[in-house]
Structure 1
Amino acid sequence: MSLIAQWRYASLQTLPVMFGYLPLGAAFGILFMQLGHPWWMALAMSLFIYAGAGQFMAVTLLANNAGLLEVAVATFMLNSRHLFYGLSLLKRFKGAGWRKPYLIFALTDETYSLLTSQGQQAQGPDDHANAWRISLLNQLWWVLGTLAGAMAGALLEFDSRGIEFALTALFIVLTLEQASRLRQALPFVIALLTGLGALILLPEQDLLLGAIGAASLILLAHYHWIDRSQGSR
């Protein structure tokens, strides 16, 4: 496969993310400009931080004059879910060489969804290169959306209420894609129950980490039970 064909293949894979990241990045750029900061700061955040939901949260914290420590702690708590993502990709990224640091940096929810939806592929240079291209393209869509939103926010004035719902909409689309591929109800039932349980039992600041932790423990227990059942046969 030629280099152009490889990039075309990766681009086609990232189309669902592109249609989410362009408006979502624009929403972030617009909201960021409402704080009164220069446009290039929004662009720099998308280039060097690239945290998606964390960037939206940063806008809220900055608007409320939060300190650097508060921003750092809140961002760590929100993005701690990537610890679970990373553990599941340790084998996948093994031997990625010079691409590995960027693969780690660029691992967003949507990129993780794309990489895992590809199924069990033969691991090797081709797989690592394709994962790198997907990660790079996804960040490109986010950066372009941010730039467009920052420019619009600097030049235009309009009511932006509700624009942040683009993030929720993108998560819904990716969840439906995963459900269509897996065709297994159990992971989604567990996610629903742990999410509702966390919503009822936990304070807002601990909701996300609590739901992810509980779901991971249940899935690990289920995997261990299946492994023991197969071993006893």
Structure 2
Amino acid sequence: MPKLPRTVNFPVPAKPTRYEIIEGLRITAPVAAGYIPLGLAYGVLVIQLGLPWWLAPALSLSAYSGSAELLVVTLAAQNTPLAVIAVTMLLVNFRLLFFAFSFPLHVIEGRVARLFSMYALVDEAYALTAARPNGWTKPRLLAMQVLFNLTWVTSSLVGVSAGSLIP
């Protein structure tokens, strides 16, 4: 029996980090644009409810979840007990636990990056990774999540500014 030539499998070279970040931003930008009107409305709501302006970014950074944030500011403006607000946040965000089972967290290396990725797991990030289950790298995934977070916080701050101009 003749010997077959031995094939060598060379690893596919990884794409540069810059390319992966740009690709993550390109994929994410159309979806992140949907955050703008919601973030604006959230910022306006905070001001119109008579809450301090800093509550919008503080809540966005501490409990990043658009739907829950809208509920929390409404409940806070009505002097709802903190325990009720906490349980409401838990129940509204409980679905994210199930998202984590199929979210590509395994590509994220490093404790800080992994913690940020878990913190920034929102419906839209899950939807994009579920719709495109392959090709996610650490830079691409983190670029997506950073863009979502920055779009939300920035648009809510613009909403706060706009809300202060509305009588």
Q: TM-score range by the shorter chain?
A: 0.7 to 0.9
Q: How many residues align?
A: 151
2:121 corresponds to which residue? 107
Partner of 1:22: 36
Question: Does the alignment pair 1:93 with 2:78?
Answer: no
- Calculate the TM-score normalised by the size of structure 1: 0.60
From 146, 150, 159, give the equivalent of 1:136. Answer: 146
Deviation string 1:104-147 (CA, Å, 9 cap, x unpaired) is 000000111112222233x7xxx122111100111011011101
In the alignment, the residues of structure 2 paired with residue 87 and residue 6 of structure 1 have an alpha-carbon distance, to the nearest angstrom, of 24
- Aligned twin of 1:150: 160
Greater RCO between the two (CA within 8 Å, min separation 6)? 2
Q: Distance in 2 between matches of 1:15 and 1:153?
A: 25
In structure 1, the residue matched to 2:89 is 75
Equivalent of residue 35 in structure 1, options 32, 45, 49: 49
How far off its partner does 1:16 sit? 2.2
Q: How far is 1:10 from its partner?
A: 1.8
Contact 2:42 2:70 in 1 (8 A): yes
**RMSD between aligned alpha carbons?**
1.7
CA–CA separation in structure 1 for the residues paired with 2:143 and 2:102: 20
Q: Aligned pair in 2 of structure 1 residues 80, 95: CA closer, same or farther (>3 Å)? A: same
The share of aligned pairs that are identical, in percent, is 34
For structure 2, which runs of at least 5 residues remain unmatched after alignment?
1-14
Note the alpha carbon deviations across 1:177-205, whole angstroms, 9 max, x for none.
xxxxxxxxxxxxxxxxxxxxxxxxxxxxx
Residue 57 (1) aligns with residue 67 (2): no
Give the 5 Å matches for 1:222-233: none
Correspondence 1:158-177 to 2 at 5 A: none
Q: Which has the higher helix share?
A: 1
Runs (5+) with no aligned partner, structure 1: 158-233
**1:18, CA displacement in angstroms?**
2.1
Code of the residue aligned with 2:25 in structure 1: it is S
